[in-house]
Amino acid sequence: MKISILAPDLSNNCLGRAYLLAKILQRHYEVEIVGPIFGEGIWEPVASDVGIAYKSVKICGKFKPYFQIMKLLNKIDGDVIYASKPLFTSFGIGLLKKVFKKKPLILDIDDWQEGFRREGYSNLSFLTRLKFLVSSALYFYNIGSYWNSLISERLINFSDGITVSNAFLKERFDGTIIYHGRDVETFNPEKFNKNLIREKHKIERSKKVVMFFGSPKQHKGIEDLIDAIRLIKNKDIVLFFVGIEESQYCHYLIKVAKNKLKERFRGFGLQPFEKVPEFLTMADIIVIPQRKNFATIGQLPAKVFDAMAMAKPIIATNVSDLPKVLEGCGWIVESENPEQLAETIKYVLNDSEEVKDKGRKAREKCKAIYNWEAMEKILINIFRKYE
């Protein structure tokens, strides 16, 4: 059986979830990923993986995209369609294929798309809101369109099944939870030498590395983390930000970090997925400082599972499923509280036996619940009836 996974944009980080599902499913089925390319090519962190079959259409212009996107219909030839995110360029295309070709359609929801739109919309003035709503209608195909997420979400009951990535989404949409699992053989701390890797990146042994690894968005709480490090007077405690991309917000973050932390800040660009374990190895702590708002209540950062698999001490905020995932194997702090975050960072960096024990427990929990084998069993059970 062949499964066509539809992603809303192959050049955006939204490809990450579709890529994960493809990697797990291809252990049992033939799999392809189909979607538009709004940017310059396949999303950089996964572009080098030749084991994934992509089918795409390059999107350009303002109104031509409506005709270009329709070309995707002829590229989808799976026996079952698995749409990533309730958006027009994935789920919408899948619905058309379901109607005209009678293909079974499963929908995966890993973020609350309408929550993203609500959060952005709430901060706009009346005139800007009006302009945004008109623009969203004209460019309905755009991932950031308010109407795209609103209407697509209203159509989810036309799917033949739903999978979700966390408890909030399950409560809202029902479906089966498929966490952002990780391959614990690839993410294995025993395969990496921390001292050698730090030497490679010219990091002094005396330095304690606090790391944020992920997509640079305002709701990620990176500014709170910068403030927390600033409050810590120990100059050997440094902040590494891995995942910098070419965006206005990233340039702003770098400016803020350099201004507040000076030489205690170091930034790295987007990294291929195969390099993620190496970068995590350098860290003494991984921090996931999510802010609590419409954009985050339905989001569970995948990087928490990367860090767990690598047996890292993890500090996260009390947002979404993070407290449940890290129960017994991490530290939870209040959202948007740099003072509490700073105190917790200092506590964890004491390098006590408790810290090492929680790192070990994090990996054990990831191996038991959040590994690819566990995800594979659930997914196979969903798709078996279509074989």
Structural contact between residues 285 and 333, judged by C-beta atoms closer than 8 angstroms: no
Q: Which two tokens stand for residue 114?
A: 């309408």
pLDDT, position 119: 83
CA distances from 288 to 210, 232, 270, 285, 322 (A): 11, 18, 17, 10, 9
The backbone torsions φ and ψ at residue 203, rounded to the nearest 5 degrees and listed phi first, read -110, 120
pLDDT, position 51: 93
pLDDT, position 341: 98
What pLDDT, in 10s, does the model give residues 222-265? 999 999 999 999 999 999 999 998 889 999 999 999 999 999 99
What pLDDT, in 10s, does the model give residues 310-351? 999 999 999 999 999 999 999 999 999 999 999 999 999 987
Q: Which two tokens stand for residue 334?
A: 């209040």
pLDDT, position 352: 84
Structural contact between residues 312 and 362, judged by C-beta atoms closer than 8 angstroms: yes
Question: β-pairing, 105-109 with 331-333?
Answer: unpaired
Architecture of the CATH domain 2-181+372-386: 3-Layer(aba) Sandwich (3.40)
User: Is this prediction's pTM over 0.75?
Assistant: yes
One fold for both 2-181+372-386 and 189-369?
yes
Q: Which residue ranges in the chain fall short of pLDDT 70? A: none
At the top level of CATH, the class of 189-369 is alpha beta
Question: β-pairing, 176-177 with 208-213?
Answer: unpaired
pLDDT, position 64: 87
pLDDT, position 318: 97
Cα–Cα distance measured from residue 22 to residue 29, given in angstroms and rounded to the nearest whole number: 9
pLDDT, position 144: 87
Name residue 320's beta-bridge partners: none
pLDDT, position 133: 86
pLDDT, position 282: 96
pLDDT, position 238: 97
Residue 167: how many other CB atoms lie within 10 Å: 14
Domain positions in the chain are 2-181+372-386, 189-369
Q: Which residues contact 213 (CB under 8 A, 6 or more apart)?
A: 242, 243, 276, 279, 280, 283, 286, 303, 306, 307
Cα–Cα distance measured from residue 384 to residue 387, given in angstroms and rounded to the nearest whole number: 5
pLDDT, position 25: 97
